[in-house]
Amino acid sequence: MTDQQPDPGTYEGEEGTPPAQTPPPPVRYQPDPPAQLPAPLSDASAVAKPGPTTLDRLAAVAGPLSFVLFMVCGFLGGWAWSWLFFLLPGLLYTWNRGTGHQR
Protein backbone atom coordinates (compact mmCIF):
# COMPACT_ATOMS: atom_id res chain seq x y z
CA MET A 1 0.00 0.00 0.00
CA THR A 2 1.03 3.52 -0.56
CA ASP A 3 0.97 6.36 1.89
CA GLN A 4 -0.79 8.69 -0.54
CA GLN A 5 -3.91 10.29 0.84
CA PRO A 6 -6.64 11.72 -1.41
CA ASP A 7 -6.82 15.46 -1.78
CA PRO A 8 -9.03 16.77 1.07
CA GLY A 9 -10.90 19.05 -1.38
CA THR A 10 -12.24 16.15 -3.44
CA TYR A 11 -14.81 13.51 -2.74
CA GLU A 12 -14.94 9.89 -3.77
CA GLY A 13 -15.33 9.63 -7.55
CA GLU A 14 -14.22 13.23 -8.24
CA GLU A 15 -10.49 12.77 -8.54
CA GLY A 16 -10.31 13.49 -12.28
CA THR A 17 -13.06 16.08 -12.68
CA PRO A 18 -12.20 19.72 -13.29
CA PRO A 19 -13.20 22.24 -10.62
CA ALA A 20 -16.73 23.58 -10.90
CA GLN A 21 -17.09 26.99 -12.48
CA THR A 22 -18.33 29.71 -10.22
CA PRO A 23 -21.52 31.50 -11.23
CA PRO A 24 -21.18 35.07 -12.48
CA PRO A 25 -21.68 37.79 -9.88
CA PRO A 26 -25.18 39.24 -9.62
CA VAL A 27 -25.92 42.29 -11.71
CA ARG A 28 -28.33 45.09 -10.96
CA TYR A 29 -31.72 44.84 -12.66
CA GLN A 30 -32.10 47.43 -15.36
CA PRO A 31 -35.67 47.59 -16.71
CA ASP A 32 -36.28 48.27 -20.36
CA PRO A 33 -37.06 51.88 -21.20
CA PRO A 34 -40.82 52.58 -21.28
CA ALA A 35 -42.52 52.15 -24.60
CA GLN A 36 -43.80 55.19 -26.39
CA LEU A 37 -47.42 55.75 -25.38
CA PRO A 38 -49.97 56.62 -28.06
CA ALA A 39 -51.10 60.20 -28.29
CA PRO A 40 -54.13 60.99 -26.09
CA LEU A 41 -57.49 61.19 -27.78
CA SER A 42 -58.97 64.59 -28.40
CA ASP A 43 -62.18 65.54 -26.64
CA ALA A 44 -64.18 65.13 -29.86
CA SER A 45 -63.13 61.51 -30.38
CA ALA A 46 -63.38 60.46 -26.73
CA VAL A 47 -66.52 58.52 -25.93
CA ALA A 48 -67.85 58.82 -22.41
CA LYS A 49 -68.76 55.47 -20.91
CA PRO A 50 -72.06 55.52 -19.09
CA GLY A 51 -71.99 54.76 -15.39
CA PRO A 52 -73.76 51.84 -13.78
CA THR A 53 -77.52 51.90 -14.05
CA THR A 54 -80.01 51.16 -11.31
CA LEU A 55 -80.41 47.64 -12.71
CA ASP A 56 -76.63 47.13 -12.51
CA ARG A 57 -76.61 48.23 -8.89
CA LEU A 58 -79.61 46.07 -8.01
CA ALA A 59 -78.01 43.03 -9.67
CA ALA A 60 -74.82 43.65 -7.68
CA VAL A 61 -76.64 43.39 -4.34
CA ALA A 62 -79.08 40.65 -5.42
CA GLY A 63 -77.03 37.81 -3.89
CA PRO A 64 -76.78 39.15 -0.33
CA LEU A 65 -80.31 40.52 -0.57
CA SER A 66 -81.73 37.13 -1.53
CA PHE A 67 -79.93 35.51 1.41
CA VAL A 68 -81.33 38.08 3.85
CA LEU A 69 -84.85 37.66 2.44
CA PHE A 70 -84.46 33.86 2.65
CA MET A 71 -83.51 34.06 6.33
CA VAL A 72 -86.23 36.56 7.25
CA CYS A 73 -88.97 34.64 5.45
CA GLY A 74 -87.68 31.36 6.85
CA PHE A 75 -87.66 32.51 10.43
CA LEU A 76 -91.17 33.90 10.01
CA GLY A 77 -92.37 30.39 9.16
CA GLY A 78 -92.10 30.28 5.38
CA TRP A 79 -89.22 27.81 4.97
CA ALA A 80 -91.11 25.91 2.29
CA TRP A 81 -91.31 28.99 0.05
CA SER A 82 -88.29 31.02 1.08
CA TRP A 83 -85.97 29.18 -1.35
CA LEU A 84 -87.66 31.15 -4.15
CA PHE A 85 -85.65 34.21 -3.11
CA PHE A 86 -82.52 32.50 -4.46
CA LEU A 87 -84.03 32.83 -7.94
CA LEU A 88 -83.81 36.63 -7.72
CA PRO A 89 -80.13 37.06 -8.75
CA GLY A 90 -80.57 34.88 -11.83
CA LEU A 91 -83.76 36.64 -12.83
CA LEU A 92 -82.18 40.08 -12.39
CA TYR A 93 -79.08 39.14 -14.39
CA THR A 94 -81.23 37.69 -17.16
CA TRP A 95 -83.49 40.75 -17.22
CA ASN A 96 -80.47 43.07 -17.20
CA ARG A 97 -78.78 41.21 -20.06
CA GLY A 98 -82.02 41.18 -22.09
CA THR A 99 -82.44 44.95 -21.86
CA GLY A 100 -78.86 45.57 -23.05
CA HIS A 101 -77.60 47.11 -19.83
CA GLN A 102 -75.05 44.39 -19.06
CA ARG A 103 -71.53 45.22 -20.23
Decide: 84 and 58 in contact? Cβ < 8 Å.
Answer: no
Residues of the chain with pLDDT under 70: 1-3, 5-19, 40-47, 99-103
Q: What pLDDT score was predicted for residue 70?
A: 92
Residue 19, pLDDT score: 62
Q: Identify the pLDDT of residue 16.
A: 59
Which domain does 77 fall in, by range?
54-98
What's the number of domains the chain is made of? Answer: 1
1 part of a folded domain: no
* Reported pTM: 0.46
pLDDT at position 68 is 93
d(CA 72, CA 34) in angstroms, rounded, equals 56
The reply to whether 73 falls in a domain is yes
The answer to whether residue 38 is domain-embedded is no
Residue 23: what pLDDT?
82
pLDDT at residue 51, as a whole number: 81
58 and 85 in contact (C-beta within 8 Å)? no
Q: Is residue 43 part of a domain?
A: no
86 C-beta neighbours (distance < 10 Å), count? 14
69 in a structural domain:
yes
